């Protein structure tokens, strides 16, 4: 594996930041406690038969080892106006769900109310990829909110979709 310098890493991060993406929260009840992480690496349409989506999670994540234990994960693609929720869910504090309205499925998947899209998923595979792991999920149920626009992450800031 090729090692990069600090300067190269900063340049790569700056380049990656120029790619606009949605913001997704991955949440589930684990041992009767809601757990969540937020990622902008969420990708839909990996496969239609079966319906697969994926995301990349940092190997250093302390939340992913808990979430991977869940029967099902809720994936909430956050909407405009949910910037504070994204920051709160991504924080290192233990009470990430304080004041947030959520829905919990019978299987323990947690969805953030008001999100543009909600998926209830099962983990299919996890593949090492450098300092991250690529996690493939099979979609078992969906919720679509046509009244909202997606929250966008671009240039290391939250943005709104101009239509």
- CATH number of the structural domain 21-155: 2.30.110.10
Global confidence as pTM: 0.91
Distance from C-alpha of 84 to C-alpha of 96, rounded to nearest angstrom: 11
In the chain, where are the structural domains located? Answer: 21-155
- Average pLDDT, rounded, for the chain: 93
pLDDT digits (tens, 9 = 90+) for 31-47: 999 999 999 999 999 99
In terms of Cα–Cα distance, which of 115, 112, 105, 120 is closest to 144? 115
**pLDDT for 81:** 95
Cβ density class 122-136: b for 16+ within 10 Å, e for less = ebeeeeeeeebbbbb
């Amino acid at each position: 594996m090729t090692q990069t310098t600090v300067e190269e890493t900063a340049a790569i991060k700056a380049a990656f930041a120029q790619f606009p993406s949605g913001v997704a929260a991955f949440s589930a009840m684990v041992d009767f406690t809601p757990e969540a992480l937020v990622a902008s690496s969420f990708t839909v349409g990996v496969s239609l038969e079966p319906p697969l989506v994926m995301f990349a999670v940092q190997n250093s994540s302390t939340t992913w080892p808990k979430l991977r234990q869940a029967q099902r994960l809720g994936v909430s693609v956050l909407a405009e106006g949910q910037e504070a929720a994204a920051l709160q869910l991504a924080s290192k504090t233990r009470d990430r769900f304080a004041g947030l309205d959520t829905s919990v499925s019978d299987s323990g998947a947690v969805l953030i109310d008001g999100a543009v899209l909600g998926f209830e998923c099962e983990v299919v595979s996890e593949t090492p990829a450098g300092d991250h792991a690529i996690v493939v999920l099979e979609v078992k149920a969906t919720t679509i909110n046509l009244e909202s626009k997606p929250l966008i992450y671009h240039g290391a800031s939250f943005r709104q979709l101009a239509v």
